[in-house]
Amino acid sequence: MLAACALCACGGDANEGTSRRTAGATTDTPAWRTDSVARADSAPARAVRDTAALRVEVDVTRRMLHVVGAQGDTVARHPVAVGSTKWPTRTGTWTIDQVVLNPEWTPPDESWAEEREPRKPGDPKNPLGRAQLVYDLPRTIHGTNDSTSVGKAVSHGSIRVTNRVALELSELLLSATQVTGAADSLAAARRDSTRKVVVDLPKSVPIRVF
């Protein structure tokens, strides 16, 4: 399987930075990537995508994330960490178009990150944890190695979940959008936390943050 990469950033979170925007997909089959970061300014235009039969809803006030099925049923429900008063989580509607397993982190150009060092996949100090759902860079939903922060307003704007939940959400979205070879790549990423895998979803997953 192939690969490229997306980054968000968080040391608290959301304006936790990233060095790129989501890379465009030009076919219905997603490109799996495990190498270097793709750049938006050099990427081809994204093809129009179908919409998945589920959506993600994040209630910032209640600090809860819901995955809602096609019939309006709740498929999954998890507590999240959200932005602090100084770095609030942005509200609005977008689509999740990319999933990154074992992401790497590049410090953003923000005052709080001036002395932070980049972190490779698998680094216990990597603020992105084990997986990342990309919807509005630098804002993403991502895992964290500090599970005690979940349920609190402590991030730099992004939405944090535990690493276990981040991987479960990744699996759910890859399955729902019918990503080819998803099970094998997920299993490999779970076994080796240093192996970064990025996939452009063949169907967009709506997300509302409110």
Contact 16, 113 (CB under 8 A): yes
Q: Read off the pTM.
A: 0.79
Closest CA to 26 of 52, 1, 47: 47
Residue 42 has pLDDT above 50, yes or no: no
Read off the pLDDT of residues 182-196 as tens digits, 9 standing for 90 and up: 999 899 999 999 999
Read off the pLDDT of residues 87-144 as tens digits, 9 standing for 90 and up: 999 999 999 999 999 999 887 777 676 677 889 999 999 999 999 999 998 889 999 9
What is the band of 51 on the pLDDT scale with cuts at 50, 70, 90? very high
Domain ranges of the chain: 32-209
Of the listed ranges 15-29, 78-92, 108-122, the one predicted with least confidence: 15-29
Residue 78 has pLDDT above 80, yes or no: yes
Closest CA to 80 of 89, 72, 91: 89
CB atoms within 10 A of CB 2: 12
pLDDT for residue 22? 38
Mean pLDDT score of the chain, rounded to an integer? Answer: 82
pLDDT for residue 178? 95
Q: Once rounded to an integer, what is the mean pLDDT over residues 57-61?
A: 98
CB environment 18-50: b (16+ within 10 A), e (fewer): bbbbbbbbeeeebbbbbeebbeeeebeeeeebe
pLDDT for residue 142? 98
Question: What type of residue sits at position 200?
Answer: D
More confident residue, 62 or 32: 62
Residue 79 has pLDDT above 80, yes or no: yes
Question: What type of residue sits at position 75?
Answer: V
Q: Once rounded to an integer, what is the mean pLDDT over residues 147-173?
A: 97
Contact 47, 194 (CB under 8 A): no
The Cα–Cα gap between 49 and 115 comes to 39
The Cα–Cα gap between 23 and 94 comes to 16
Residue 175 has pLDDT above 60, yes or no: yes
Longest C-alpha distance within the chain, in Å? Answer: 47
- Any bridge partners for residue 141, and if so which? 133, 159
More confident residue, 49 or 181: 181
CATH topology of domain 32-209: L,D-transpeptidase catalytic domain-like (2.40.440)
Contact 64, 136 (CB under 8 A): no
Residue 27 has pLDDT above 50, yes or no: no
Tokens of 162: 């535990």
Residue 63 has pLDDT above 70, yes or no: yes
Q: Once rounded to an integer, what is the mean pLDDT over residues 148-163?
A: 96
Closest CA to 198 of 102, 126, 124, 119: 102
